[in-house]
Structure 1
């Protein structure tokens, strides 16, 4: 297979292993450990100095390579991404149902395309926490489904489907009496836990359909959670590659995969929280930096905020900017917004152009149609919190926030190629 095809198959394996943000962090940690990285405990002292390390904070993971010649003023090259995706999260007292059907009480997480979740076999995945604080990952396999109403009972459905998030987004998971069934107990028993010991949980729904390459020449790729596991995976593979042949004079290469971006990033493991700054300060301390030297290092640092973006939709071209219309397999996006919903500026754009040229990768510019307000990313949050120059980029997608998104086979691997150059280069 080509390099792009190898990358896309590995991305498929990563997405499949990552039905929740906690699984995404765990799978990244597994891969990093296999590549010689060491997991550090935030509650313990760190020795500092050169090396390959990572920490996990809930559903976030921060990993870094400190080169052998790093000093107190060595800058940080950070690729920021996020591990979470729009979904549905289990509510308290999740076992519900009526008319002999068991249902699950769920709350909408982020901004999913609701209709894309209908009539799919879904799993529940996340973490269960016992009374003593022990955390256990769980993934149920196919268990749930949001059954759509038959067209015979709603003849106008094809003229406009409107779904009530409370009334109509209640997945079914079995036949029986909700008074005697126990959905949480089913999850606990599946991982060998006593249901009576479960005191807390963070569990979401995830599509179980396997990722697939398709198209006339195998040029398209469909999968759940490409926003934003495509970026996490690109950064992960690039960091592992750089860790194998680190540039001794290079920057400290950092992968920051945050949680909770889809709901605003305001958490202890989100980009608004202190997790990245905590790690950077401790790396800096390990290199013997004073506060002044740390600020000098931050002033020469650079952040690539990597999050999925929009390709032009052939059925809705009027929704896109008339002059800037990125296409699938045209290369990663440089995302630009005058109102700083993306953090890209002219200096950052020029740096991104240099990195892509060095990597031999084409890129495309993305800007929104003026009447279509764009989303945002962790980029502006990171730039504001740390004062580090930041540029927003990402893989072009169709069907963003669908249960199953679509990209070109070439683009994720190209993003990883640029990330590898970025991690080893003083920008």
Structure 2
């Protein structure tokens, strides 16, 4: 399966951060990685391949070189599992005449109008009563069919719609779930639906973390299928590349003197400052457990960390052919030109010239196409987890990503071939001596 089709398959399964982490774990299981419990002692072996899931939505995986010494190379790839979407609120049941609606809120900086008139569905986690009050049960849920939609007002009653209209997130973004019928309880219809999907009594449902996702499949398009159009390109392109990199690092051909690690964080779209986000001490805790299990002191761990290298992977803004005025005058990554090295003087991206030098030489050695992205001087641009994670892990860091159009839309666009360049960067990053 080529990189583009592999990505499309992964996107179809990665409908929520919980499902991204679960699907990533399946890929790692198939590659021979061993699952660890974050809250237990670890028995690690040189040459071993391991992963740990954190709070259901973040995941770390690592490979320990067979010839690992106290002083060694530490290499980290990072990405995020979440995407801008709608999150379902508690007590979500609403009615308007005969319409059933679901109360939601915006998660992250989504382009609201792109969520209108689309088939939508629901995925995430439901928490159920357990045998102990301190140990409730959890179940993943994905409604694998179109379930919801948010209809636009017709142009006949909203003549200004093509002049630009702000959509109020509380009034205008409420999805329709169905029609009120005699056998439905208007006060509990959503909980009753969830209970039926899970095969449990409604009273067993304590709470949930449920997200509304775009239920449309991704596809290739263009005269020669040169484009890939799909939901959740931000940031499953990067999660896919991280998985390709770490499984390559664990296949026995890697430099045996390195610790290779991927960090797939949740909550980047809302700032990363959560227990499972990049702006937390979770990675430091994991590294301390890893090095303690290898019998390497904390001081030596920090030596290797300070001498190490991290690549933060998140999508980049590609050149928009209809609005070239939104791009920098000399730095504008184009679709099909390879992944982008992301640079920002305000340190919204962590990249500096030393990190760039490493990546550029790595790409030259393996003929991997790349470009550079800098935002216009009069547009602040976006940010990602690179600077946040490198504040906790003070190591040389570069921010990179596939150039996309319509970032944070319900459906985004990229060149299909650019995924291959990102995958190859991830693999060679871990494989290089």
Task: List per-residue Cα deviations over 1:160-194 (Å, max 9, x = no partner).
Answer: 12211111110101001663442133123212232
- Specify which of 137, 140, 143 is matched with residue 137 of structure 1: 140
- Count of matched residue pairs: 422
* Change beyond 3 A, Cα 1:213–1:250: farther
- Work out whether residues 145 and 173 of structure 1, in 8 Å CA contact, stay in contact via their aligned partners in 2: yes
**Displacement of 1:281 after TM fit?**
1.4
**Displacement of 1:290 after TM fit?**
1.3
- Specify which of 201, 221, 235 is matched with residue 228 of structure 2: 221
1:166 paired to 2:173: no
Q: Give the distance between the partners of 2:41 and 2:253, measured in 1 at CA.
A: 25
Partner of 1:47: 43
Q: Over aligned residue pairs, what C-alpha RMSD do you find?
A: 1.3
1:97 paired to 2:101: no
Q: Give the distance between the partners of 2:393 and 2:248, measured in 1 at CA.
A: 27
**Displacement of 1:8 after TM fit?**
0.9
User: Which structure 2 residue ranges, 5 or more long, are not aligned?
Assistant: 131-135
Task: List per-residue Cα deviations over 1:395-425 (Å, max 9, x = no partner).
Answer: 0000000010000011111101011010123
Task: List per-residue Cα deviations over 1:190-242 (Å, max 9, x = no partner).
Answer: 12232211112111011111110010011000010000010000110221122
1:368 paired to 2:372: no
Report the 3-state secondary structure (helix = DSSP H, G, I; strand = E; otherwise coil) of the residue aligned with 2:50.
Answer: strand
Q: Give the distance between the partners of 1:45 and 1:411, measured in 2 at CA.
A: 40
User: Which structure 1 residue ranges, 5 or more long, are not aligned?
Assistant: none
Q: Give the distance between the partners of 1:68 and 1:176, measured in 2 at CA.
A: 62
Task: List per-residue Cα deviations over 1:350-378 (Å, max 9, x = no partner).
Answer: 01101211231111100001111111111
Partner of 2:133: none
Report the 3-state secondary structure (helix = DSSP H, G, I; strand = E; otherwise coil) of the residue aligned with 2:25.
Answer: helix
TM-score (norm 1): 0.96
Partner of 2:422: 415
Structure 1 runs, 4 residues or longer, greater than 3 Å off? none
Partner of 2:60: 62
- Specify which of 149, 154, 164 is matched with residue 150 of structure 1: 154
Report the 3-state secondary structure (helix = DSSP H, G, I; strand = E; otherwise coil) of the residue aligned with 2:156.
Answer: helix
Q: Give the distance between the partners of 1:237 and 1:189, measured in 2 at CA.
A: 37
Partner of 2:121: 123
Task: List per-residue Cα deviations over 1:122-169 (Å, max 9, x = no partner).
Answer: 011000011222111111121010101011111121111221111111
Q: Give the distance between the partners of 1:75 and 1:134, measured in 2 at CA.
A: 40
1:355 paired to 2:362: yes
**Displacement of 1:325 after TM fit?**
1.3
